[in-house]
Amino acid sequence: MGQQAEAILHETEAHDAHHEMSFWDKYIFSVDHKIIGFQYMFTGLIMAAIGGYFAYAFRMQLAWPGEEVPFYGLVDAAKYNMLVTNHGTIMIFWVAMPVLIAAFGNWLIPLMIGCDDMVFPRLNRLSYQIFLVSALVLILSFFVTGGGFGGAWTSYPPLSAVAAYNLTNWGASLWLLAVFLEIVAFLLGGINFVTTTMNARAPGMGMMDIPIVVWMINIAVILFMASVGPLVAGAVMLFFDQRLGTSFFIPSGGGDPLLWEHLFWFFGHPEVYVVLLPTMGIVAEIITVFSRKKLFGYRTILYTAFGTGGLSFIVWAHHQFVAGIDPRMANVFVVTTILISIPIAEMLFSFIATLYGGSIEFSTPMLWALGFLVSFLIGGVTGIYLGASALDVYFHDSYFVIAHFHYTFFPITIIGMFAAITYWFPKMFGRMMDETLNKIHFWGTFIPFNGLFLPLFLVGMAGQHRRIADFTQYPDLASPDLQSIRIFATVSLVILLLFQFVFIYNFFNSMFKGKKAPLNPWKANTLEWTVSSPPPHGNFAELPTIYRGPYEYSVPGREEDYWPQHLAPNQ
């Protein structure tokens, strides 16, 4: 379609948008990608609150076992299992994915590639609606007879497949159904993202002019689509095992529980990169803007992302080193696992190299981005311990794994989310956030986060394994020293959670009462900063044409230290 036709169409569209829309059409059943992005974001934030509340309940139980937890009540064994299981499930499927991929993907992709909406707006809405139903089904599963599912987020059969083993007949099935629906929602959403990026880029925007965050979200979505298929088949099989009495995964009926482990981790490991890559992209955007530097090695970062994605498909069995797989296979997977550190290390090095020679401003988004680099580095290097099969014999399912895992996922999900929200807030709501409160929130989250998870490395080294409601019964683990480490971690968690109220207050206060934001408060290059804040339906008053890459900061010979993508060379 020619640009002229586009311009005509755009005019009629803009004209159509003038008629008044009811609240329902505008905010609930909207097909506008930005509103859908908000819907994902707020649902994700609410689910994050639930997940955090669960973490609070079971950490309190670990610190002061058997005592009534304030605002929760007594945590017994069944409740403890339910809490840890659903904490994990919620944080990965209902927080990390909707916020990082769906919310920011929806919000940013059309704006950053310079088009007026997703290519399939109604499919987009459907994807959110399915996602919402999945969240409701999950919440429903906490309240059915027998309680919520308590077989860990990996849900290994036969425990998850047989009600007599897990004692949560309906909880387990609803949990599985919720995960299934969530996957379907993201498959639909993902197809939309990829198609949009492939087909609807603004004129002039070549493959190497796409902002890294859009690239990363797309790679993540493709990884997700490719890895989740076998798990969808597996989920149907597991559901039949639960409800119809088949035995795909039950050995006495001829099935094999190891098959589920393979199906799950074939998805589960790429999933780590599915949530990692969007945050890497967000960080790339932020550090370039706040150090006024061109991204160091755009292509390198892109290729390492592809490399990581490809490699992530051949490392999955490192989750199963001691799960009864053939030990010879472990040698293959240990090589691939250690090798995956190479592209990721290269990517981190490139980010650090971007800072060289910069003019770094420590605003809150930049603090979050740097905080991400520091803490993800800890998460990354501790992964080497666990990828080493022989050492995994000791560390498998121990608190060392928990600490490592949270040192990767907390920076990815929570820090990445806050980095993105604080960075794009002016564009999303047209107002600035309060910088002082933001900084208080940053330090109040970052320090307790380390106070929470660093001690867990120590208890992990002491041989404490995960998913246990009360360690004081274990003679070797009951020592007061270890218990005081646990208490320290719990206190850190409580402090961390309390500081989130600062954010909530700041978020809503700034949303309604904050200082009006200028069009481009950070002086960034990418296209979303050229539209009014908040952007109207249809985004661009005039659809842009692209003349250069997204990271042309501090170009020699230019007075301004930034050079937006849409400005023609003579401007």
Q: Which is nearer to other proteins, 370 or 437 (CB)?
A: 370
Report the residue number, 29 or 313, with the smaller CB distance to other proteins.
Answer: 313
Choose which of 17, 136, 393, 519 interacts with other proteins (CB under 8 A).
393
CA distances from 256 to 79, 153, 315 (A): 28, 19, 21
Site for other proteins in 312-371 (CB under 8 A): 313-314, 316-317, 322-331, 334-335, 338-339, 341-342, 345-346, 348-350, 352-362, 370
CB of 116 to other proteins, least distance (A): 5
Between residue 536 and residue 555, which ones bind other proteins under the rule CB under 8 A? Answer: 538, 543, 553-555
Question: Counting contacts by CB under 8 A, is residue 384 touching other proteins?
Answer: yes
Please state at what angle helix 33-63 crosses helix 77-89, rounded to 10 degrees. 150
Residues in the chain: 571
**Residue among 321, 322, 346 nearest 332 (CA):** 321
- Which residue is it, tokens 């296209």? 527
Question: Closest separation between CB of residue 568 and other proteins, Å?
Answer: 20
Got the DSSP string for 268-297? HHHHHHHHHHHHHHHHHHHHHHHHT---TT
73 interacts with other proteins by CB under 8 A = no
* Interface segment toward other proteins; rule CB under 8 A; list 190-198, 211-219, 407-415, 512-520: 190-198
Q: Can you tell me the distance from the alpha carbon of 182 to that of 179, in angstroms, rounded to the nearest whole number? A: 5
End-to-end CA separation in angstroms for the chain: 27
**Looking at 15, 18, 19, 299, which residue binds other proteins (CB under 8 A)?**
299
Interaction with other proteins in 440-459: which residues (CB under 8 A)? 458
Show the CA angle centred on residue 526, arms to residues 524 and 531, nearest 5°. 95
Q: Which of 346, 217, 342 is nearest to 281 (CA)?
A: 217
Q: Please report whether residue 150 would count as binding other proteins according to CB under 8 A.
A: yes
Distance in Å, CB of 505 to other proteins, minimum: 29
- Closer residue to other proteins in complex, CB, 43/422: 422
Provide the minimum distance between the beta carbon of 21 and other proteins in the complex, in angstroms, as a whole number.
16
- 73: phi then psi, degrees, rounded to nearest 5: 115, -165
Q: Is 100 in the site for other proteins (CB under 8 A)?
A: no
Beta carbon nearer to other proteins, 507 or 562: 562
Residue from the set 129, 133, 300, 307 that interacts with other proteins by CB under 8 A: 300
> Tokens 């902002």 belong to which residue?
211
Using alpha carbons, list the distances in angstroms from residue 4 to 219, 306, 334, 518.
32, 36, 56, 30
Contact between 311 and other proteins by CB under 8 A: the answer reads: no
Contacts with other proteins by CB under 8 A: the residue count is 165
Site for other proteins in 105-134 (CB under 8 A): 110, 115-121
Residues 61/81, Cβ–Cβ less than 8 Å: no
Peptide bond connecting 230 to the previous residue in cis, omega within 30 degrees of 0 = no
Q: C-beta of 65: minimal distance to other proteins in Å?
A: 5
Q: Does the footprint of other proteins cover residue 34 (CB under 8 A)?
A: no
For 430-445, the DSSP string reads SBPPPHHHHHHHHHHH
Which amino acid, 54?
Answer: F
> Which member of 69, 292, 303, 491 binds other proteins (CB under 8 A)?
292
Should residue 198 be labelled a site residue for other proteins when binding is judged by CB under 8 A?
yes
79-98: contacts with other proteins (CB under 8 A)? 80-81
Which of 97, 237, 274, 437 is in the footprint of other proteins by CB under 8 A?
Answer: 237
Q: Which is nearer to other proteins, 300 or 450 (CB)?
A: 300
Q: Is 191 in the site for other proteins (CB under 8 A)?
A: yes
Residue 565 CA: distances (Å) to CA of 207, 294, 522, 528, 547: 14, 13, 15, 10, 6
Residue 293 contacts other proteins per CB under 8 A = yes
Minimum gap (Å) between residue 9 Cβ and other proteins: 5
- Residue 53 engages other proteins in binding (rule: CB under 8 A): no
Phi, psi of 195 (to 5 degrees): -60, -40
Positions in 1-20 near other proteins (CB under 8 A):
1, 5-6, 9-10, 13
Q: How far apart are CA 192 and CA 117, in angstroms?
A: 11
Least distance (Å) from other proteins to the CB of residue 274? Answer: 14
Place of tokens 């050995």: 251
Q: Are 550 and 565 in contact (CB under 8 A)?
A: yes
The residue behind tokens 């740097």 is 370
477 part of the interface to other proteins, by CB under 8 A? yes
Which stretch in 44-52, 229-237, 433-441, 444-452 sits in contact with other proteins by CB under 8 A?
Answer: 229-237
- Residues within window 398-437 making contact with other proteins, judged by CB under 8 A: 398
Return the residue of 51, 171, 234, 564 that touches other proteins, per CB under 8 A.
234
Q: What is the token pair recorded at 213? A: 């965050």
Among 132, 144, 432, 462, binds other proteins (CB under 8 A): 462
239-258: contacts with other proteins (CB under 8 A): 240, 244-248, 250-258
What sign has the CA pseudo-torsion 534, 538, 542, 546? positive
Angle between helix 364-387 and 257-291 (nearest 10): 150
Q: Which is nearer to other proteins, 176 or 237 (CB)?
A: 237
Asked if 274 touches other proteins (CB under 8 A), the answer is no
